[in-house]
Structure 1
């Protein structure tokens, strides 16, 4: 990094990826900043710069070793940052670049978890920790119990059909204790203290009214007259139910809005789909199976614009997954329970072919590759419509 580049960075002030610190910061306090960045998207700490951007510089000769010791002993698990010094106006600024942690969540040696929020850090809440552990693959939210639920919240007819088709026995003919044992071993029930409760996944696949206990489930659908969200809303629906029901109902709604242009060739009228039904279905299945259900404040949102369809799913991509990896078929099971049961019901496979298939079909149909991007705490899939 050059002195000019560093001056420009300092002039823009602190932000979600940049923090200023004086040289006299205590190791335990610096470790908190490092942990917050590692638990977020990474970031840079400039040591020798005041909060107001005034360049004070650093004096200690062992700065690099001191910082590496903090990253090794005050951060758990330890991390390896990038370090360099830059000379500015006769003063030396230490630049510590913290990578996005591959082994999240990170904590300080005092056992505290921090996350980055805007230009500051804060202690992680229980919900924050749940997301971090889920991203790391250490905890799968879809098999956590939902307090206050029980067998009464399961659709026994749906359960019976599933077990008859895939396990070849009638679960309703089993004695109550044996039935509970089977459902527990299948991760449909889980223990919350001394009580058996339905899991998140159990409700989403077999629940009578999943949205009653999981208001974040389901899909919020809206159709707009124009090409942006400020356009007039022509239709608006909230689609709730089990995942198979939600996918089927939303797919039908979207397909009904797509005009099917017809061409006369010879003596026959040939119709052409403006959007293949398999693409709609795959996009919706991908959203409901892979969204982050620990984010309780929002549903999956499907927006139908005049020129495109957007599927916005709560939750960033897991640690090891990138958009480029998704394009070539890399698959990651954020919700392995949901993936397993939706695969058994023939809604999905584990081969990671969904996104590559969508890309290929859409490029062949309209000549435009679908949009795949992370925006804030959401993942957006955009399907562009042809003329």
Structure 2
């Protein structure tokens, strides 16, 4: 975060394409749009954008109450699933010239265009607005391809025509990723749509995300891109196998099929000990669903041919995800609120297709629903080559 002297200097210079003032402390849509516009950096200044909350349009103090809850809400905008891909930003409370303000500092993105609910926002001078088709094309061309994550790399040898399911793209993905108004207004060619949504590389090859999410045969290109389910009769993997399945196809299909497998294998019973009969489940479906989706979306697709494995034993369920922690998340802070995405474009695609509703709440949801169901908390084993989560059966 910039120092107080620099922040005051920016305030004195007034609103611009890198500075915005607002009195409101509750308009989350406005905050998201401002963050999105700063991250897109259409003018190409390469400088941090600053949203000052608690200042009037002319920079005078508004006397707004800057509470801890506001700062937490602002920090949560980064991963609440509305702004995609995720912005790089910091939030802080500062007292500048005897005025309390919340400052959101947003860095220019290496991977524009960012959008809020399918709409691309930019700043031209002190004004914020939706990008035109031409402005969005310019943002797409600004991407720093050497810095993009692996899931945005092109798949050598693959082609859009032969290896992508374009019917699924046009009928399912595109309407969910771009607002109807923008689609009706822009009328882009298919190639421009694919580039804007990070589904093709500069040379026209489908990206890793495109093949995994919309590919005709993802396992041809990524042999480990499937879910392996095995149910055992006892408590050891050497015991007899009761059932097994390999769930293949595009990732959304894999996860939908996995949902059905989870539901079929959760045992239900009726507790008649009290005045009211209560249904008891061996595992809460919601917890297993969240943990399995995390394992599939955040796994290592780059250098591992191992599938995501679900081992269903008599006393526990184990879910193994190839690849260890990534980025800011390490063994010391895993599962404690820190977030970092190995595959941000895959995560964006899953959100667009309705497979995920919010980011960063999977482990929290699992812990909560396990506790509500009477199960012990999940156990995480973080190793160099994998992350293993163990969920114990309800006693």
- Do 1:295 and 1:314's aligned partners in 2 also have CA atoms closer than 8 Å? no
Q: Say yes or no: does 1:186 pair with 2:197.
A: yes
The alignment status of 1:331 with 2:343, answered yes or no, reads: no
**Are the equivalent residues in 1 in contact too, given 2:214–2:250 (CA < 8 A)?**
yes
Residues 331 and 350 in structure 1, CA contact (< 8 A), matched pair in contact too = no
Counterpart CA distance in 1 for 2:232 and 2:372 is 26
1:148 and 2:157 are equivalent in the alignment: yes
**Counterpart selection for 1:308 from 302, 316, 338:** 316
Cα distance in 2 for partners of 1:172, 1:157 equals: 16
Aligned to 1:345: 353
Residue 261 in structure 1 maps to residue 269 in structure 2: yes
> Higher relative CO (CA 8 A, sep ≥ 6), structure 1 or 2?
2
- 2:323–2:387 Cα contact (<8 Å) kept: yes
User: Within 2, Cα distance between the matches of 1:338 and 1:253?
Assistant: 23
Instruction: Give me the whole-angstrom Cα distance separating, in 2, the residues matched to 1:146 and 1:369.
Output: 39
CA 170–367 in structure 1, closer or farther in 2 if over 3 Å, else same: closer
Q: How does 1:51-62 map to 2 (within 5 A)?
A: none
Measured after TM superposition, the shift of residue 304 of structure 1 is: 0.6
Computing the radius of gyration over CA atoms, which structure comes out larger, 1 or 2? 1
Flag as ranges the 4+ runs of structure 1 deviating above 3 A: 168-177, 264-270
**Shift, 1:300, TM fit:** 0.9
1:203 aligned partner: 211
Is the CA contact 1:210–1:241 (under 8 Å) kept in the aligned structure 2? Answer: yes
Counterpart in the other structure of 1:157: 167
Equivalent residues, number? 248
TM-score (norm 2): 0.57
Determine if contact 2:374/2:394 at 8 Å carries over to the other structure.
yes
Over 3 Å counting, the alpha-carbon distance change for 1:357 and 1:267 in structure 2 is: closer
Q: 2: CA distance between counterparts of 1:207 and 1:255?
A: 27
CA contact (8 A) 2:222 2:305 kept: no
* 1:102-117 mapped onto 2 (5 Å cutoff): none
Change (3 A) 1:184 1:233: same
Q: Secondary structure at the match of 1:340?
A: helix
Change (3 A) 1:150 1:175: farther
Q: 2:97 aligns to what?
A: none
1:162-199 Cα deviation digits (max 9, x unpaired): 212332469999999921122123211114xxx52111
Aligned pairs for 1:224-373 (under 5 A) are 224-264=232-272, 270-323=278-331, 325-349=333-357, 351-373=359-381
Aligned position for 2:394:
386
CA distance in 2, matches of 1:145, 1:299: 21
Q: Could you tell me how far apart the structure 1 residues matched to 2:366 and 2:217 are?
A: 31
Gaps of 5+ in 2: 1-145
CA distance in 1, matches of 2:364, 2:332: 11
Q: Show CA shifts across 1:213-266 (max 9, x none).
A: 211211111111111211111222111011111111112112212210113478
Cα contact 2:297–2:346 (8 A) shared by 1:
yes
Over 3 Å counting, the alpha-carbon distance change for 1:148 and 1:169 in structure 2 is farther
- Cα RMSD of the aligned pairs, angstroms, is 2.9
Partners in 1 of 2:151 and 2:244 — Cα distance? Answer: 28
Alignment CA distance shift 1:222-1:172 (3 Å): farther
Report Cα offsets for 1:126-174 as digits up to 9, x if no partner.
xxxxxxxxxxx95511111112211221112211122123324699999
CA gap of 1:266–1:232, structure 2 versus 1, over 3 A, is closer
Q: What is the rounded CA distance, in whole Å, between the counterparts of 2:384 and 2:174 in structure 1?
A: 40
| TM score, norm. by length of structure 1 | 0.58
